[in-house]
Structure 1
Amino acid sequence: MRKPILLALLGAALLAGGLWAASLEPGAARAALGRALVGLEAWRGAHPGWLPLGYFAAYVAVAAASLPVAVWMTLGAGALFGFWGGLVLVSFAAALGATGAFLAARWLARDWVRARFGARLGAIEAGLARDGALYLFSLRLIPVAPFFIVNLLFGLTPMAPARFYWVSQIGMLPATAAYVFAGTRLAEVATPADVLSPGLIGAFVAIGVLPWLARGGLALWRRVARARRWPRPARAERNLVVIGGGAAGLVAAYVAAAAQARVTLIAEGPMGGDCLNFGCVPSKALIAAARAADAARGAPALGIEGAARVHWPTVMAHVRGAIAAIAPNDSEARYRGLGVEVIRGRARLLSPHEVAVETGPEAGRRITTRAVVLATGAAPVVPPIPGIEGVGALTSETLWAWLSGLPAPPRRLLILGGGAMGCELAQALARLGAGVVLVEPGRILAREEEEAAALVAQALAADGVEIIAGRVVRFEGREAVLESGARVGFEAVLLATGRRARLTGLGLEALGVPTEKPLETDAWLETLLPGVYAAGDLVGPVQLTNAAGHQGWVAAANALAAPLWRFRAAAPMPQAVFTAPEIARIGPTRAELTAQGLAPEVTRYPLAELDRAIAEGARAGWVEILTDPRGRILGASVVGARASEILAPIALAMRQGLGLGKLLATPQIYPSWPEAAKNAAGRWRQARVSPRALALAARYFAWRRG
């Protein structure tokens, strides 16, 4: 969005500077320029058709070759041929040149384009699948990416060349007109004072304002078009209907009730959702017991020796107790007390403004509403492995009841999947005395930094977890057969192979919203249906309780405040793997930034140098912060004890746009774990101290001593 404004200002600055310099030395330079212009006009008078023809051919060639000078040639066309002549010439030349680049990318430079700009191709393909030619039209009106990149990337899509041409022809016309008009104003500049003429200033203002007007106009057109298909009722029972009683839905309902809106919460599953009942709360309670068991075994380096005795029924009673203690915060009674109407049952969208209750005590009821928030979460993925139906595979939703029914830790549990859930449960159960085999086709914790994942793998192995790199191809009785032919016996199988958004049964298909892929939302969490928002695991991109809660707040706020105000969902989101050692991260990894063509500066601070880590004998791990040359944080990862606590000040700094200098200037408690973040910022600062500045300082202080 800023590029047209910057180009316009740069052009004006260069022109003003050139004219000013010429006015200071009215000699050979100005005379040569004048003779050149006179000669060009004389040649144009003798050959009136050749100049526009040659200019047209040159423009097509430049655009087809993706050379970044088209803006200046557009300004030049306005100066040479006037507004209408320049507009016709550039409009057709730009569309033909863009199509030439489109065809070159498709037939000649496919590999080069994919290697150079492939990171942006996914967004292009997604937008094209969603909006078709309208997506290209929007990119032409609103230059969020340089036109030459759009030309090349669309060459890798299945769009027909003819469609690409005419959409480009129409879509680029407003911007072309603005630049040509600016060129006509530039042609009238004869003295330095003319640079500040209203006409020239207005031309450059038009160039800067046009993308904003186009964005607003296109958004308004889309909203009107969608609203026309589903007109809102004159009166509605509710300001907001929230479907789903997990973290996202509960926060959305709370926000609406706190704002004094009339809100209905429809929940089919248990209140509190997966986090309270099957995920965060029970797993962290189990991890707490496992850490206590590990501590009871002693720490020889600290002079402590011991032996843990695990009483399994008490462990599981602790897990159930943790759920029971937190449940009142998410209960129907609490939310009814807040003013939320809570309905137990399954909901279905009849339109963006009408919701039907299909099951439960109020089955058959229809509710009209101004807006809807979908927060139905995600369900465990059951991979299509032959024989899996006969083994009674466990998921996060059935694991805890099974564990509670055991008299002792499981003798041999096979866990499929080496993500956060698989690794956390594998280590916790192994520390409590279970036999655990973890099978993962690639490396465990594939989304984390490779070095961090390797440290966790070593810790899991030290705690007795057997890690097998491979893939289960079938089940035979109580054995899993790997693709290598090896067989793994088990007492039970736990599936930790991911989660899929719950989209079926909501009525989305009948309303034209695809459900065979993740639900699509815009930056404000509104879906393809007007007034219908989505939040939490249903949306992603990360399935975390903190992300769900934040998105629930954003979705509810936007649903209630539209069209007067709206908020963007924050990104990125801090996350942690609660193994020992922990891994905490925010933002992309080094590998992801490199894939985007970025070369971040890496600052690493080892926890072995942190006083608190030394005192507790927990020196393994590090803090790694990725920054740009100015110290702006692009991403960070922490590995070690209390990593999630160390990351907190870094996440705050990143979210608020504070650089490492601000983080360094913020005192932390001594000795504490978050001090590692401040020390990492100090390491970054030390690397930027100029030797020359230090030498000058030494000389200055020597002079001060006399």
Structure 2
Amino acid sequence: MSTEQEGDIERVAEELRRGLDIKDRKHHLKTYPKFFTGSDAVKYLISSGRAKTEQDALDLGNGLMAQGVFHHVTRDHAFKDEPLFYRFTADEEAFSGGPTIKDDGKAVSWADRLLGGRDEAGPNLQAQLPSWDDAGFQSVEKDLGVSPLDKCNLQLLDNVHPAQWQDATPQPMYNMVVIGAGAGGLVSAAGSAGVGARVAIVEEHLLGGDCLNVGCVPSKALIRCARAAYQARNAEQFGVHVDGVRVDFGKVMERMRCIRAEISKNDSAKRFAQQLGVDVYLGHAKFTSKHTLEVNGKTLRFATAVIAAGGSPKVPPIPGLLDVPFLTNVSFFNLTELPKRLGVIGTGPIGLELAQAMARLGAQVTVFGRTGRILEKEDPDAAGILQQQLEREGIKLMTQVELKSVSKRAGGDVATHIEVHICGDKTQDVVVVDQLLVATGRSPNVKRLGLEAAGVEFTTADGVKVNDYLQTSQKHIFAVGDVCTPYKFTHVADFMARLVVRNALFFGRGKFSALIIPWATYTEPEIAHVGLYPRDLEQRGIKFDTYTKKLEDNDRAICDSQTEGFVKVHTKGGTDTIVGATIVAADAGNMISELTAAMQGGIGLGALASVIHPYPTQAEAIRQSGDLYNKTRLTPFVKTLFRGVMAAQRATASI
């Protein structure tokens, strides 16, 4: 498509729309409203003088398609000189009638037809995450930093950042360009390419993002090894005597690296380029205008873009901290030797998961916090159970301290020492550690992206600003994941990306507020949550009832010696409509999905009481929570009525 045609695109599109025979057309006994054919469009473009040859017409038509002017009926074809059906975007809103009307009376969108899903789920059931003053915090830029370069890490790098990679030749126009190849970016790219879009993805560091490389995958592999060590040391309670438990930390970390490498095949550059048809660019992306970005000296033009740049570790403004070799989650998994003494700054999920794992593997662990409690966003009862467990395992929790400074220790082999002021206690103000892990949250990666050139609004604290449809201040540019939301979970980025594919390419109207978001902290016991907390319900003025079933009454939990935990379900006052739930249990992360599915499907707590669960399982506590609700329906009047019925039955039987 020539420069003149590009500048004249709106006028060309309108002339084409007026000149074509747009009507309802039938194919294979199915009627498609308001369509024209590719062959008719080619004839018109030539006859009107807009194109001299068939190839000119095809180039112009495909350019119009890339700009979103019109599309093929099922997104299976580019613009061709064939009797294929195409429809103008401007006619989408007029599309209605017949079998394309949903049960709720709303027109079925292309998102409904091709990708499924629901755009609305009633009131917003997303919890308000606590916030605090982060003044002075800064993000730490990450680099490749993969070590040691053993066979497993080399396999990882071969997959997610090949040493030799030839970038694709840029297409004239991409339907979508994605910045960032973490969970949100990869799902955006794969989902779009899978329905026929021309897609490019740009990654500066490692494909797979934090989850694969320095987050979910390596941490869960480490936690599994730590659990094995803990169970071996505590097997005597089950009549099993294990003598001389020894942890080979080097082998533990090698196992983690090999598992990560094996899983990395799914996120590899080769798979996305060769199997999924995505143009993969390894380099730094920077917007140069509202419809272009630059990578490795090449310009990529796009109709829509997705910012999925993720986040980086956030570091508190503690004097001297930047002068010592502290760890974050980015560098933690490079360890090959177990530190004798580990300090952890941060009492959130990342800090506590790694603190418990390292303590079980043999380190002396001290955790520092400033708010007076751990897991500030979670149910206090849940956090309390976990705190007791961590303390039983020998972890020292200093949850209300002010860290005055950090410095290298003068002399000796110890790497650092921390001067700690403990509120209300002057007995100890120095803690000595060999390694220091900083786990104080994440900052969105918004620097150096050229967002100003694209006209995309953002702040360094909160990231890219998006609306409920995940559009930025530029409606054709979207954002997903840690770069734009406080819900910094892999599964949230995944489902945000699914919304973006629908909204960006198929004129969907999927709302982020409609997502019902569960999450879990993978300590032992696990803590899982979905929906609203009591504090959210109180702030919104929503009356609610709470039904709690403790695991001390659960037969399987008793058999497993895992009785410290509960299922706690909140329902809208006077009803069984579930609005939130918290589970504390060994397998809470899996158990929470039953309640999430119930909320998503509009199934009430009372109905869960009739769902047969295998016996004995800890998940029975969910069913028993439903029993608790159903018992509240036995009002004094109903009980009196039942007693009358029972009396009448006895009288009849005695005759």
**Fold shared, TM-score > 0.5 on shorter chain:** yes
Which residue in the other structure is 2:561 paired with? 617
Q: How does 1:493-572 map to 2 (within 5 A)?
A: 493-512=436-455, 513-518=457-462, 519-562=464-507, 565-569=508-512, 570-572=514-516
Q: Deviations over 1:311-364 (max 9, x none)?
A: 11111111111101110011111111111111111111122321211xxxxx11
Contact 1:646 1:676 in 2 (8 A): no
Q: Deviations over 1:534-579 (max 9, x none)?
A: 00111222100110111111112211113xx321224331001111
**CA distance in 2 between partners of 1:446 and 1:517 (Å):** 20
The Cα shift of 1:297 comes to 1.2
Which residue in the other structure is 2:579 paired with? 634
Q: Deviations over 1:121-159 (max 9, x none)?
A: x9xxxxxxxxxxxxxxxxxxxxxxxxxxxxxxxxxxxxx
Q: How does 1:204-603 map to 2 (within 5 A)?
A: 237-307=173-243, 308-336=245-273, 337-357=275-295, 363-401=296-334, 403-404=335-336, 406=337, 409-442=338-371, 443-469=373-399, 470-477=401-408, 478-484=416-422, 486-512=429-455, 513-518=457-462, 519-562=464-507, 565-569=508-512, 570-603=514-547
Contact 1:648 1:674 in 2 (8 A): no
Contact 2:443 2:460 in 1 (8 A): no
Contact 1:588 1:634 in 2 (8 A): yes
Cα RMSD (Å) of the superposition? 1.9
The Cα shift of 1:609 comes to 1.8
The Cα shift of 1:465 comes to 0.9
**CA distance in 2 between partners of 1:501 and 1:690 (Å):** 52
Q: Deviations over 1:466-496 (max 9, x none)?
A: 1112121211322211233611111111100
The question of 1:699 aligning with 2:644 is answered yes
Amino acid in the other structure paired with 1:314: K
The answer for unaligned runs of 5 or more in structure 2 is 1-126, 131-170, 409-415
The Cα shift of 1:638 comes to 0.4
Contact 1:352 1:372 in 2 (8 A): no
Contact 2:314 2:442 in 1 (8 A): yes
Amino acid in the other structure paired with 2:458: P
Give aligned pairs, total: 464
Please tell me whether Structure 1 or Structure 2 has the larger radius of gyration of its CA atoms: 1
SS in 2 for 1:386: coil
**CA distance in 2 between partners of 1:540 and 1:309 (Å):** 42
The Cα shift of 1:236 comes to 5.6
Amino acid in the other structure paired with 1:316: M
**CA distance in 1 between partners of 2:299 and 2:611 (Å):** 54
**CA distance in 1 between partners of 2:451 and 2:282 (Å):** 20
The Cα shift of 1:463 comes to 1.2
**CA distance in 2 between partners of 1:298 and 1:530 (Å):** 57
**CA distance in 2 between partners of 1:687 and 1:641 (Å):** 29
**CA distance in 1 between partners of 2:621 and 2:458 (Å):** 46
Contact 1:472 1:481 in 2 (8 A): yes
**CA distance in 2 between partners of 1:324 and 1:640 (Å):** 30
SS in 2 for 1:488: strand
The Cα shift of 1:692 comes to 2.3
SS in 2 for 1:579: coil
**CA distance in 1 between partners of 2:317 and 2:228 (Å):** 38
Identity of matched residues, %: 36
Q: Deviations over 1:593-644 (max 9, x none)?
A: 2233333211001112222212222111000001112111111000121111
Amino acid in the other structure paired with 1:590: P
Moved more, 487-496 or 304-313: 304-313
Amino acid in the other structure paired with 1:474: S
**CA distance in 2 between partners of 1:339 and 1:432 (Å):** 43
**CA distance in 2 between partners of 1:506 and 1:291 (Å):** 41
**CA distance in 2 between partners of 1:353 and 1:566 (Å):** 22
**CA distance in 2 between partners of 1:646 and 1:520 (Å):** 33
Aligned pair in 2 of structure 1 residues 275, 536: CA closer, same or farther (>3 Å)?
same
Aligned pair in 2 of structure 1 residues 599, 305: CA closer, same or farther (>3 Å)?
farther
Amino acid in the other structure paired with 2:252: V
Which residue in the other structure is 1:212 paired with? none
**CA distance in 2 between partners of 1:286 and 1:343 (Å):** 31
SS in 2 for 1:554: helix
Q: Deviations over 1:53-105 (max 9, x none)?
A: xxxxxxxxxxxxxxxxxxxxxxxxxxxxxxxxxxxxxxxxxxxxxxxxxxxxx
**CA distance in 2 between partners of 1:275 and 1:691 (Å):** 53
Which residue in the other structure is 1:182 paired with? none
The Cα shift of 1:394 comes to 0.8
**CA distance in 1 between partners of 2:308 and 2:216 (Å):** 17
**CA distance in 1 between partners of 2:607 and 2:301 (Å):** 49
Contact 1:647 1:677 in 2 (8 A): no
**CA distance in 1 between partners of 2:354 and 2:405 (Å):** 23
Amino acid in the other structure paired with 1:501: P
**CA distance in 1 between partners of 2:310 and 2:511 (Å):** 20
Write 1 or 2 for the structure with the bigger share of helix. Answer: 1
Runs of 4+ in structure 1 over 6 Å off: none
Contact 1:439 1:467 in 2 (8 A): yes
**CA distance in 2 between partners of 1:688 and 1:422 (Å):** 43
The answer for unaligned runs of 5 or more in structure 1 is 1-118, 123-234, 358-362
SS in 1 for 2:486: coil
TM-score scaled to structure 1, two decimals? 0.64
Q: Deviations over 1:626-670 (max 9, x none)?
A: 111211111100012111122111011112222112322322233
SS in 1 for 2:327: coil
SS in 2 for 1:381: strand
Which residue in the other structure is 1:664 paired with? 609
Contact 1:255 1:557 in 2 (8 A): no
Which residue in the other structure is 2:168 paired with? none
**CA distance in 1 between partners of 2:583 and 2:384 (Å):** 14
Q: Deviations over 1:194-228 (max 9, x none)?
A: xxxxxxxxxxxxxxxxxxxxxxxxxxxxxxxxxxx
TM-score scaled to structure 2, two decimals? 0.69
The Cα shift of 1:683 comes to 1.3
Contact 1:373 1:556 in 2 (8 A): no
